[in-house]
């Protein structure tokens, strides 16, 4: 049985970001926040600017070939799907909508799609490894959800630490695959910002601050487009013959 099957068997068919988004509101009731909203906001915008600048620098003042444009757009589509279906999972969960399971299922498929996207360049093993890392995110997120519901602060703290560590593992995996164009520091900062932003979005949605939740999504979306560009540009510059 796969990691995804394990999650489905526990009747929690939801991706990493959706689960952790749900946990965000519960964590607020079971443990003190480790960051102020102001500090998070400043860190988010600083990291967003850094990652987007890194991603867009390579393409400024030069035109794409048709193959480059198609790949660039494909990568943006995959990562836009990630944040879009995550938001829909958050909203349908908050509303107790019967469409939540279908939305979560589509979000799970996106994780496999993201792993498959790197296979033509880094191989099947690497693609499967990325998917496995994302599946680990799901399982740890389920632990967070269960601990938060039980009000077990110690387990919440432990699972949260492992969840962020796993986020670093994803960043480190990408950096190891392409250290020149995906430097470790930038990958870690980008991943952490993405998770922090999604948690803020979920907290506002679940607490009924819908205007703030919508504004959060704009930040999530812009940041993710920058990360997608960083990834596509890195691949195109590493494998230029594939895009002639």
In whole angstroms, what separates CA 221 from the centre of its chain?
Answer: 11
Domain of 63 in residue numbering reads as 3-243
- How is residue 151 written in tokens? 């009000």
Q: How many CA atoms lie within 13 A of 4 on its CB side?
A: 15
Q: Which candidate, 15, 49, 44, 14, places its Cα nearest to that of 197?
A: 44
Q: Which candidate, 159, 171, 178, 90, places its Cα nearest to that of 133?
A: 171
The CA-based angle 70-17-180, given to 5 degrees, is: 50
Rg of the chain's alpha carbons, rounded to an integer?
18
Q: How many CA atoms lie within 13 A of 118 on its CB side?
A: 24
Confidence (pLDDT) at 139: 66
Confidence (pLDDT) at 148: 55
Transcribe 6-54 into DSSP letters: HHHHTT----HHHHHHHHHHHHHHHS--SS-HHHHHHHHHHHHHHHHHH
Q: Which candidate, 224, 235, 237, places its Cα nearest to that of 78?
A: 224
Confidence (pLDDT) at 215: 98
Contact 48, 226 (CB under 8 A): yes
Residue by residue, pLDDT tens for the chain (244 residues) are 443 344 333 333 333 444 444 444 444 443 334 333 334 444 444 444 444 444 444 444 368 889 999 999 999 999 999 889 888 877 887 788 899 888 888 878 888 999 999 999 999 999 999 988 877 776 666 566 456 546 678 987 887 788 788 889 999 999 999 999 999 999 999 989 988 887 778 778 777 899 999 999 999 999 999 999 999 999 999 999 999 8
Burial 60-69 (b: 16+ CB within 10 A, else e): eeeeeeeebe
The predicted model scores a pTM of 0.74
Interatomic CA distance for residues 105 and 93, integer angstroms: 13
Number of domains composing the chain: 1
Interatomic CA distance for residues 224 and 44, integer angstroms: 12
Residue count of the chain: 244
């Amino acid at each position: 049985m796969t990691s995804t099957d394990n999650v489905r068997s526990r009747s929690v068919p939801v991706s990493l970001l959706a689960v952790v988004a749900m946990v965000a509101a519960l964590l607020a009731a079971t443990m003190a926040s480790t960051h102020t909203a102001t500090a998070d906001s400043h860190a988010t915008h600083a990291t967003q600017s850094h990652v987007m600048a890194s991603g867009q620098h390579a393409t400024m003042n030069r035109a794409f070939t048709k193959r480059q444009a198609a790949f660039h757009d494909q990568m943006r589509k995959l990562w836009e799907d990630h944040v879009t279906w995550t938001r829909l999972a958050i909203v349908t969960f908050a509303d107790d909508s019967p469409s939540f399971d279908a939305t979560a299922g589509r979000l799970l498929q996106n994780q496999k799609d993201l792993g498959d996207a790197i296979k033509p360049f880094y191989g099947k093993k690497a693609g499967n490894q990325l998917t496995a890392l994302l599946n680990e995110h799901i399982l740890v997120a389920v632990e967070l959800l269960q601990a938060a519901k039980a009000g077990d602060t110690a387990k919440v703290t432990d699972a949260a630490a492992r969840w962020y560590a796993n986020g670093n593992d994803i960043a480190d995996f990408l950096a190891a695959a392409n250290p020149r164009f995906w430097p470790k520091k930038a990958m870690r900062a980008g991943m952490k910002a993405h998770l922090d932003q999604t948690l803020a979005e979920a907290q506002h949605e679940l607490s009924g601050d819908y205007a703030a939740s919508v504004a959060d999504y704009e930040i999530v979306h812009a940041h993710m487009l920058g990360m997608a560009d960083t990834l596509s540009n890195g691949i195109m510059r590493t494998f230029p013959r594939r895009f002639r």
